Structure formats: C-alpha cells, structure tokens
Amino acid sequence: MTYAPPRGLRRHSVNAYASVGLETQVLSASPERLITLLFDGALSAIAKARLHLQQGNIAERGLAISKAIDIVDSGLKAAVDREAGGEVATNMVATYELVLHHLMQANLNADEEKLTLAETVLKEISSAWREACDTPREHTPLQVRS
C-alpha cells in the first residue's frame, strides 16, 4: 500500500531543496558572486511584488517589496566601499538610495511604474556588474628574479 504525501509536503520539500542550493552557492561564492546573488534576489523580489500588485494582494506585495528594500539597503548599498571607491562609490550609494525611494513609493502608492523604475535601474547595474566580473582578467606571469 502507498500513501500520497500530505498536501504541502512537496512544496515544503522544494523550498527546502532550493534553500540548501542557495546556501551552498553563498558559502562557496566569491565576493563578486555574492553581489550577483544579491542582485538576483532583489530582482526576484521585485518580480514577485509586481505579481502581487497586479493581483491586488497588498500584504504579499508589501513583504516582497520589503525584501527587495532589505537586499538593496543592507546588501548592495552596504557593500559599497565609500572610502576606496571615491566619487564612483558616492554615485553608487546615491543610485541605491534612488532605487530605495522608488521601491517605497511603489509600496505606499501601489505604483507599478515606480516598481519598474527600481527594477530597470537594478537590471542596468546588475548587467554592468556581471560584465565587469565575468570578463576574464589577463594574467601576468610571475617573474622569477635570480
């Protein structure tokens, strides 16, 4: 005799598997890859927020936008080295602040346009980041002095 798994068990198993997969990626990732994972997480949260906004699910929209805000603020913006980065770092922080503003306005006003603006900016930065980090670096051979 066989039994069907309890309802929701499959979803729970899939979520647990995905969580382990993400944890493995994070633990084995370079600092550059961690930033890429943060972009992916923020963009995924924005996509979920858009879906909830379109469906009129206010609570879930708020949770998804809050997650995106947390990733941008505590992850991406916090990772900017303001001392070493100079003007570029200052501009990045200002850009992340703009994204945060758009996300907050999207949530407060159920404004899909603001959500799209935040998403577009993050996609552009993410694309540039991936291009910069995925470009093979030239290796200079070590010179041995005699």
> Three-state SS across the chain?
CCCCCCCCHHHHHHHHHHHHHHHHHHHHCCHHHHHHHHHHHHHHHHHHHHHHHHHCCHHHHHHHHHHHHHHHHHHHHCCCCHHHHHHHHHHHHHHHHHHHHHHHHHHHHCCHHHHHHHHHHHHHHHHHHHHHHHCCCCCCCCCCCC
CATH number at residue 36: 1.20.120.340
pLDDT, tens digit, for every residue of 1-25?
A: 444 445 555 454 445 445 545 555 6
Query: Is residue 14 one of the residues assigned to a domain?
Result: no
pLDDT, tens digit, for every residue of 19-66?
A: 545 555 656 568 888 999 999 999 999 999 999 999 999 999 999 999
> What pTM did the predictor assign?
0.75
Query: Is residue 39 one of the residues assigned to a domain?
Result: yes
Query: Is residue 68 one of the residues assigned to a domain?
Result: yes
Question: Domain of 107?
Answer: 30-128
- Which has more pLDDT, 55 or 142? 55
